């Protein structure tokens, strides 16, 4: 098959062997695959990316060589491996969480040689995680179920009440997906923050209630107008008086060094801080401020099969208009150039790869 594979830290399009489904696996033809920020990180800083994966029990393969990336996929069933139920007919369009397992071991699809990703013409996926795409949903939209399921998980882990104020910092694909997931669950107000006018406009289309350009004003300057008490003593005084207080949740979707420290400084007392953007470098915060403000910092990574399934229903039923974030498409031959263009936030949000084109 033709695939964009990593060679010496670069993407090279070449012919590679077709993957062969083993026991419990399905062979599929890739119809669409999104470019994820993790793919950009993996090639941009492979040592840090591989180090994080190894320290957290992930796939320990060197991302610079022999990897077919791509884990946000929609595909059609071509064949089944041995020992499969074969519940879905050949030709069915499917998607699923990027979790690979079988006789060859386990790993994240698109980050291990055992499970080549959607930047190739064919993939193998576990039959148990193969989900039929509802009729009428385009493959490029179905492929977005994976990044939007990441947002579904982050919102679930935040354990919010409907009246909590949500601030989403960074409106890349994941930040935009968090905005959409919050609104699909009926949360509001949702404050969307990004330097890019184009990305703020996309957030507005997904339902964001307040848009902030941090070059013009601080994302932490509207707490009072949103009914949030910022100081620890003021909040305690309100609680002692029996007053209803409004909680806040900050979704950090940027993932750059120093960002968490700025969030800790700007967060109101008793806030939850959801780490959704992945920072690959060590960072530091002031633990005294975290303790004094009684801040709750939670990580969130990926999405479970049940969260993936719920997200697919939300997209198919129109509760989430995932296609809004698609700003470009490319074939395999244009993939390397598109990776470079994705570094310009005003040009693209989400780009979809079609290995057939």
Would 308 be classed as within a structural domain?
A: no
Q: How confident is the model at residue 168 (pLDDT cuts 50, 70, 90)?
A: very high
Same structural domain, 256 and 327: no
- Under DSSP, is residue 100 helix (H, G, I), strand (E, B) or coil? strand
Place of tokens 């507005």: 204
* 171, pLDDT greater than 90: yes
Same structural domain, 159 and 281: yes
Both tokens assigned to 111? 């980050």
* 192, pLDDT greater than 70: yes
Tell me how far CA of residue 217 lies from CA of 152, 189, 194, 210, in angstroms.
28, 18, 11, 12
Which residues, other chains included, contact 91 with Cβ-Cβ below 8 Å and sequence gap of 6+? Answer: 76, 77
Region of 80 (left: φ > 0; alpha: ψ -120 to 50; beta: rest) is: beta
Would 161 be classed as within a structural domain?
A: yes
Per-residue pLDDT of 290-337, as tens digits, reads 999 999 999 998 889 999 999 999 999 999 999 999 999 999 999 999
Both tokens assigned to 229? 């008490």
Both tokens assigned to 119? 């930047």
Per-residue pLDDT of 36-86, as tens digits, reads 999 998 888 888 888 888 887 766 688 899 999 999 999 999 999 999 999
Q: Residue 46: its pLDDT value, please?
A: 86
- Under DSSP, is residue 161 helix (H, G, I), strand (E, B) or coil? coil
Same structural domain, 36 and 122: yes
Residue 27 structural domain: 2-143+321-353
Number of domains in the chain: 2
Same structural domain, 245 and 219: yes
Same structural domain, 183 and 129: no
Same structural domain, 134 and 38: yes
Q: How confident is the model at residue 163 (pLDDT cuts 50, 70, 90)?
A: confident
Same structural domain, 289 and 272: yes
Tell me how far CA of residue 266 lies from CA of 156, 180, 289, in angstroms.
23, 24, 10
Residue range 242-258: mean pLDDT, rounded: 95
Both tokens assigned to 244? 């209803």
Same structural domain, 119 and 181: no
More confident residue, 38 or 94: 94
Residue range 268-283: mean pLDDT, rounded: 93
Average pLDDT, the chain: 94
Q: Residue 344: its pLDDT value, please?
A: 78
Place of tokens 């403000």: 293
Residue range 223-252: mean pLDDT, rounded: 95
The distance of Cα 283 from the centroid of its chain, to the nearest Å, equals: 21
Give the whole-number percent of the chain exceeding pLDDT 70. Answer: 99
CATH code assigned at 246:
3.40.50.720
Q: Residue 59: its pLDDT value, please?
A: 63
* 357, pLDDT greater than 90: no
Both tokens assigned to 215? 């070059």
Same structural domain, 63 and 82: yes
* Lowest mean pLDDT, pick from 86-90, 290-294, 341-345, 352-356: 341-345
Instruction: Please name which of 123, 117, 177, 125 lies closest in space to residue 147, comparing C-alpha atoms.
Output: 177
Q: Which helix or strand (DSSP H or E) is residue 258 part of?
A: none
Sign for the pseudo-dihedral over CA of 89, 78, 106, 132: negative
Q: Residue 60: its pLDDT value, please?
A: 65
β-pairing, 190-193 vs 210-212, is parallel
Same structural domain, 343 and 226: no
Region of 307 (left: φ > 0; alpha: ψ -120 to 50; beta: rest) is: alpha
β-pairing, 2-7 vs 10-15, is antiparallel
Q: Residue 280: its pLDDT value, please?
A: 86
* 129, pLDDT greater than 90: yes
Same structural domain, 211 and 344: no
Would 311 be classed as within a structural domain?
A: no
Region of 102 (left: φ > 0; alpha: ψ -120 to 50; beta: rest) is: left
Same structural domain, 46 and 139: yes
DSSP state of 89: P
Measured CA to CA, the distance from residue 135 to residue 339 in angstroms comes to 31
């Amino acid at each position: 098959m033709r695939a964009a594979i990593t060679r010496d830290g670069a993407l090279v399009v070449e012919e590679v062997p077709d993957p062969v489904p083993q026991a419990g696996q399905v062979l599929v033809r890739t119809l669409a695959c999104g470019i994820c920020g993790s793919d950009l990180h993996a090639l941009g800083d492979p040592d840090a990316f591989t180090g994080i994966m190894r320290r957290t029990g992930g796939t320990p393969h060197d991302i610079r060589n022999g990897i077919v990336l791509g884990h946000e996929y929609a595909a059609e069933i071509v064949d089944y491996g041995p020992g499969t139920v074969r519940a879905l007919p050949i030709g069915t369009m499917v998607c699923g969480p990027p979790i690979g397992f079988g006789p060859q071991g386990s790993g994240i699809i698109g980050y291990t040689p055992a499970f080549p990703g959607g930047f190739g013409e064919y993939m193998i996926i576990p039959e148990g995680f193969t989900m039929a795409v509802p009729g009428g949903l385009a493959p490029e939209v179905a492929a977005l179920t994976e990044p939007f399921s990441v947002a579904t998980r982050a919102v679930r882990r935040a354990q919010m009440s409907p009246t909590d104020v949500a601030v989403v910092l960074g409106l890349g694909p994941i930040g935009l997906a968090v905005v959409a997931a919050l609104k699909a669950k009926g949360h509001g107000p949702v404050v969307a923050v990004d330097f890019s006018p184009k990305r703020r406009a996309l957030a507005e289309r997904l339902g964001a209630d307040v848009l902030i350009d941090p070059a013009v004003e601080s994302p932490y300057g509207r707490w009072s107008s949103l009914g949030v008490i910022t100081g620890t003593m003021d909040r305690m005084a309100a609680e002692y008086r029996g007053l209803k207080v409004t909680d806040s949740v900050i979704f950090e979707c940027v993932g750059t060094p120093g960002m968490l420290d700025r969030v800790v400084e700007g967060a109101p007392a008793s806030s939850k801080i959801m780490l959704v953007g992945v920072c690959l470098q060590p960072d530091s915060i002031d633990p005294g401020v975290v303790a004094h403000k009684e801040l709750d910092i939670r990580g969130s990574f990926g999405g479970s099969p049940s969260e993936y399934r719920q997200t697919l229903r939300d997209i198919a039923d129109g509760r989430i208009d995932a296609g809004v974030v698609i700003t470009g498409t490319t074939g395999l031959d244009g993939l390397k150039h598109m990776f470079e263009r994705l570094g310009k936030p005003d040009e693209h949000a989400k780009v979809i790869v079609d290995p057939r084109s």
